[in-house]
């Protein structure tokens, strides 16, 4: 029986010729990731276990991105704990204010993950790196601690679902619309503990940013990971950037998949996930003339804070004004993206439109800071989750959308097709 891309990576890191779905393995890790919320818990476990060393100080990354710059005393103490640990063990990939970015945008940008890597992170959206042909998945802080000590982790080998993406995307269709469409189709548990593997001629039209967005939200369908095959687009992105040795894995012709779906990208329409689950997907046409009024628009996050996302928002906002009563918050995902957007003049467009630009942070995505919602308020957001209370009050609402849809909605004051702004 052949293996999927994910299974091949796991087999290679476990030192096995082959693995099969459901098999328990122990595999060597190429990267262990934590942030300012999850790292302190892992550090406590590390210390409680009387550990005295990390397995490799170049294969651990700690990114202060959720509540940094420190939003309150507790956040300050958490970051201080991680700073002390990083200093004590000489963690080479420690990113603090001034160098940090949103972790799942920063690690690919810095070349810390790449084709063939096996990465765990104490954050559910660690599955982002599958866009680069890596196997990456979220774990708990205890597993992060064990990984920092041993350089290994246990896995149950997942089965897989195959997604054939075909044809050229229609106008205004981005990775966000594609993954929202898929989650709307299969549900938030449709890929539970399975790999979502993407194929098809449509991949040639998807940038790395699109792929990072799609892989990022695999967890929102319950997946263990999402993964794309390595192609010329991947190679162009990782060449001269990836610090490891790139290894390209392809699925065997006889690889077994639990299910198979074909998505015609040319037929998709801009899509919005209504409260309170990512599976509540509706196209802008299905919303129709119904005015879903918004109070806030957030453009950023590990899902949609990259330079192409900011350009898409700027294309919509250029020469326009944010609607009265709407707060538009734009958050570049890394310092490099911040600089590039500034040099391209995107900040001029945003600020002249009436938006505010923030330092890189997860901030409002998890209801942390920089954009909390009050009771009864609605936000359209390019983030990845819209659970009850996700961005603030339990009686607030979050609508998930692409940067183009979010920007268009900020201009009109209600959820809007970007083609109509």
Half-sphere exposure at residue 404, Cβ-oriented, CA atoms within 13 angstroms: 19
Rounded to whole angstroms, the Cα distance separating 393 from 228 reads 36
pLDDT digits (tens, 9 = 90+) for 360-392: 999 998 888 999 999 999 999 999 999 989 999
Give the pLDDT band (50/70/90) at residue 357.
Answer: very high
Domain boundaries, the chain: 5-263, 272-420
pLDDT digits (tens, 9 = 90+) for 136-192: 999 999 999 999 999 999 999 999 999 999 999 999 999 999 999 999 999 999 999
Beta bridge partners, 18, equal none
Beta bridge partners, 63, equal 35, 95
Domain at 5-263, CATH homologous superfamily: Aconitase, domain 3 (3.30.499.10)
| Radius of gyration of the chain, Cα coordinates, nearest whole angstrom | 20
First to last CA, the chain: 52
pLDDT at 288 over 90: no
pLDDT digits (tens, 9 = 90+) for 219-239: 999 999 999 999 999 999 999
In this predicted structure, what is the pLDDT of residue 110? 97
In this predicted structure, what is the pLDDT of residue 22? 96
Give the pLDDT band (50/70/90) at residue 289.
Answer: low
In this prediction, residues 298-321 reach a mean pLDDT of 97
Domain at 272-420, CATH homologous superfamily: Aconitase, domain 3 (3.30.499.10)
Q: What percent of the chain has pLDDT over 70?
A: 100
Residue written as token pair 């149950």: 156
pLDDT digits (tens, 9 = 90+) for 16-34: 999 999 999 999 999 999 9
Give the pLDDT band (50/70/90) at residue 199.
Answer: very high
In this predicted structure, what is the pLDDT of residue 145? 97
The pLDDT mean for the chain works out to: 96
pLDDT digits (tens, 9 = 90+) for 111-127: 999 999 999 999 999 99
């Amino acid at each position: 029986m052949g293996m999927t891309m994910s299974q091949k990576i796991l087999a290679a890191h476990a030192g096995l010729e082959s693995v099969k779905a459901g098999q328990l393995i122990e595999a060597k890790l190429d990267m262990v990731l934590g942030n300012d919320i999850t790292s302190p818990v892992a550090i406590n476990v590390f210390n409680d276990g009387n550990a005295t060393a990390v397995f490799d100080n170049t294969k651990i990354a700690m990114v202060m991105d959720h509540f940094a710059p420190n939003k309150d005393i507790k956040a300050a103490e958490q970051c201080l704990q991680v700073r002390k640990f990083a200093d004590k063990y000489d963690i080479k990939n420690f990113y603090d204010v001034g160098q940090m970015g949103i972790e799942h945008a920063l690690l690919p940008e810095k070349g810390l993950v790449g084709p063939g890597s096996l990465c765990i992170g104490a954050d559910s959206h660690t599955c982002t790196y599958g866009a680069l042909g890596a196997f990456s998945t979220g774990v708990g802080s205890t597993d992060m601690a064990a990984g920092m000590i041993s350089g290994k982790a246990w896995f149950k080998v997942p089965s897989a679902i195959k997604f054939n993406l075909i044809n050229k995307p229609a106008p205004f269709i981005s990775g966000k619309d594609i993954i929202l469409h898929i989650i709307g189709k299969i549900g938030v548990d449709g890929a539970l503990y399975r790999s979502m593997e993407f194929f098809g001629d449509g991949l040639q039209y998807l940038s790395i940013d699109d792929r990072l967005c799609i892989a990022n939200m695999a967890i929102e369908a319950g997946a263990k990971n999402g993964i794309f095959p390595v192609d010329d687009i991947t190679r162009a992105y990782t060449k001269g950037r990836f610090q490891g040795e790139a290894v390209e894995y392809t699925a065997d012709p006889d690889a077994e998949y639990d299910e198979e779906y074909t998505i015609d990208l040319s037929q998709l329409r801009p899509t919005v996930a209504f409260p309170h689950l990512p599976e509540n997907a509706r196209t802008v046409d299905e919303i129709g003339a119904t005015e879903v009024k918004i109070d806030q628009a957030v453009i950023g996050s590990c899902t949609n804070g990259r330079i192409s996302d900011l350009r898409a928002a700027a294309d919509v906002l250029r020469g326009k004004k944010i609607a009265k009563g709407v707060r538009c918050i734009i958050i570049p995902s890394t310092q490099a993206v911040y600089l590039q957007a500034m040099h391209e003049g995107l900040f001029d467009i945003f600020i002249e439109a009436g938006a505010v630009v923030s330092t890189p942070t997860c901030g409002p995505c998890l209801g942390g800071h920089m954009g909390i919602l009050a009771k009864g308020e609605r936000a359209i957001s390019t983030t990845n989750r819209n659970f009850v209370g996700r961005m603030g009050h339990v009686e607030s609402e979050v609508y998930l959308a692409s940067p183009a849809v979010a920007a268009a909605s900020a201009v009109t004051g209600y959820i809007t097709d970007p083609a109509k702004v």
